[in-house]
Structure 1
Amino acid sequence: MIKLGIIGTNWITQQFIDAIKLSQKFELTTVYSRHEETAKAFADKNSAKETFTDLDSFFTQGDFDTVYIASPNSLHFEQAQKAIQNGKNVIVEKPAFSTQKQMATIQELLIHNPNVLYFEAARNIHTENFHSIEEKLGDFKTVQGAEFTYSKYSSRYDLVLKGQEPNVFSLKYAGGALQDLGVYTVYDAVALFGMPEETAYFPQLIRTGVDGKGTAILRYPEYNVTLNFSKITNSHMTSEIYGLKDLIEIDDAGELNTVIYIDDDNNKQVIGNTIDENPMLPEVEDFARVINDPKIPQNKKDYDYWRQLSVYVNKVIYNLRQDAHISFVGEHK
């Protein structure tokens, strides 16, 4: 059983804990929060045995070997750095880090701590439906690009409209649409098509200075991939990958609930409609598989691929931000 510590007690953390309960390969032992009452309430609800309000004590005294980091984006780097330095495996919510410098520092730390494993929790690429897309795409005679859309109105935007600045819409905490729902679309593109040659981002900025929504263009040698994402509007637009006359239609670039192949004659075939009991369960199973047996050849191959993919996605997102002149508070220190 993998002993798990957590940083962050929000809804995404609870969803992850619910997923590990289904998996039965992790045991939540340790909870960190800045506030004792918050840590204790989460620990009691999920049967964790210990809580901490001091981050250094959490890492040096906590009874866990793997940490799940779901704090505000701007805190990921420092917390992951401390975890690796203390010999803890790291599962960090997407986006892992805000800058390429931060990512490079973490990768260097991992080289010097070879027994520590690092995962970015990008759940969409671990699903059976995503693997169905990969398999069918391999049969395409020609690829002519794609459009990925993931737009969901955030209830936190109501607070922005009332004059407040929640973390997810704050430059101080590395917020914005690209840093949230946009990450899923970047993962879709990079995992399926590789690194683009050029990138451009056209954001719609909101009062707090972050991008509430935006469109990104990834240029490849023979086609473009368009990414649309938003946290201030809803969209029911499907996502599509284009062949010559055929295509793959996806209900949602983040959720990937239904995947349909449409052939040259407009015949439709459902190639993916597996909906997991918990959307984080596939990634939890993958992470546990590698943590428990990291030296098995297939596990090592998968781990190396996910780790490199995380580096590539970080680079694309950073380049998109630079193109749009979006800078976070303190990121250049």
Structure 2
Amino acid sequence: MLQLGIIGTGAIAHHFIAAAHQTKHYQLAAIYSRTMESAKAFAERYQQSLQLYTDMEEFLTSTIDILYIASPNSLHHGQAKAALLAGKHVIIEKPAVTRPEEWADLVTIAKEKQVFVFEAARNYHEQAFTTISDFLVDKEIWGAHFSYAKYSSKMPDLLDGKTPNVFSSQFAGGALMDLGIYPVYASVRLFGAPISARYTAQQLPNTVDLNGSGQLMYPNFQVTIQTGKNIHSSLPAEIYTNQGTLVLDTIEHISSAIFHPLKGEAEVLAITQAPHTMLEEARQFATMIEQPQPELYENWLAAAQAVHTTLYRMRQDAQIYFEGEPHENDTSC
């Protein structure tokens, strides 16, 4: 049983703990938060004695085996690096990093310390994508459209003049990083790394994007993505082939995949949706630690590198800059 530690006391951490416990591979053991009050409030719903920490060094020297990091985006790299150096396995909520070189850094440290590092990009690990990949193997891809946009619960605060973390350049927020990563991961999972990428967006004065659309370019086709946090999309995902169009109800936690051939009747693919959105990734991470599959693990690492390279290219194209990053309007460079 993996002893699980948590960094970050938001709702997403509760969701991961629920999924982790369902796998029967993890046992929640410790919580880290900046204040003891928030750590205690987070721990209240669990009927067990938990170790609570406000000192990161003490937390990392505890008996936990693996950490789940769900702090603001800009803190992920530093916290994950410290945990890996302490010899802990690490699961980082997406986006794991803000720049591709940060992911490469974490991978290097994890290998040196002989521990695992995972990005919690839940759709990448869905069994549904294996079913879809197998179905597409004999078809020529002509393109795709992947949409993932949800109206944020933090929009009222933004409209009141506040800057929630999800819209903050200090904390590496925005639609692309928070939700756009899902269609990018779907594209990399199905088609591999794109050769280039573009992105245009509706942006705040701090350059962080509220919504946007982009294109991932492959040698013979393009994937269009749409994302947003000030809009809501109910559009299905579509994959276009020389034999017809495959329609998915979504690109995360997929429950339906129907192929509409150019001629003939529609074909329904056998998709079994997991009972929890984070169950499949939590199970796969634990299994990888307990029964390592080096080739598969390397595929995961390479996919994450491709995703973060793509996201960074898209940010550059839209001129989205996070705090501390140099850009063309920075006269100090």
Query: TM-score band (shorter)?
Result: over 0.9
The CA deviation at 1:266 is 4.9
Amino acid in structure 1 at the alignment position of 2:134: E
1:115-264 aligned at under 5 Å gives the runs 115-140=114-139, 142-264=140-262
Q: CA deviation at 1:48?
A: 4.8
Correspondence for 2:296 among 271, 293, 302: 302
Native 8 Å contact 1:7 1:31 kept in 2: yes
Q: Secondary structure at the match of 1:71?
A: coil
What do residues 144-171 of structure 1 show as CA deviations (whole Å, max 9, x unaligned)? 0111011111111121111111101110
Summarize the Cα distance change of 1:326–1:272 in structure 2 as closer, same or farther, 3 Å threshold. Answer: farther
* More displaced stretch, 40-49 vs 299-308: 40-49
Give the match for residue 42 of structure 2.
Answer: 42
Shift of 1:180: 0.7
Return closer, same or farther for 1:304/1:176 CA change in 2, 3 Å cut-off: same
Tell me the equivalent position of 1:107: 107
TM-score of the superposed pair, with normalisation by structure 1: 0.94
Aligned pair count reads: 326
Runs of 4 or more off by more than 3 Å in structure 1? none
SS at match of 2:106: helix
2:242 match: secondary structure: coil
Partners of 2:250 and 2:281 in 1: CA distance: 18
Secondary structure in structure 1 of the residue aligned to 2:45: helix
User: 2:290 maps to which residue?
Assistant: 292
Percent identical pairs in the alignment equals 39
Q: Which runs of 5 or more structure 2 residues have no equivalent in the other structure?
A: 327-332
Matches within 5 A, 1:39-118: 39-46=39-46, 47-60=48-61, 62-113=62-113, 115-118=114-117
Where structure 1 has 5 or more consecutive residues not aligned to the other structure, the ranges are none
Q: Over residues 206-252 of structure 1, what are the superposed CA-to-partner deviations in whole Å (9 max), with x where a residue is unaligned?
A: 35531011111111111111111111111111111110141210111
TM-score, normalised to structure 2's length? 0.94
| Stretch moving more, 236-245 or 164-173 | 236-245
Q: CA-atom RMSD, angstroms?
A: 1.5
CA distance in 2, matches of 1:32, 1:270: 45
Q: Check conservation: 1:3, 1:28, Cα contact below 8 A.
A: yes
Query: Does the 8 A contact of 2:69 with 2:92 survive in 1?
Result: yes
SS of 1:87's partner is coil
Measured at CA, do residues 208 and 326 of structure 1 come closer, stay the same or move farther in structure 2, by a change above 3 Å? Answer: closer
For the 8 Å contact 1:28–1:48, the answer to whether it is kept is: no
Report the Cα distance in structure 2 between the residues aligned to 1:130 and 1:158, rounded to whole angstroms: 35
8 Å CA contact 2:129–2:189 kept in 1: the answer is no
Distance 1:79 1:331 in 2: 19
| Matching residue within 302, 310, 320 for 1:316 | 310
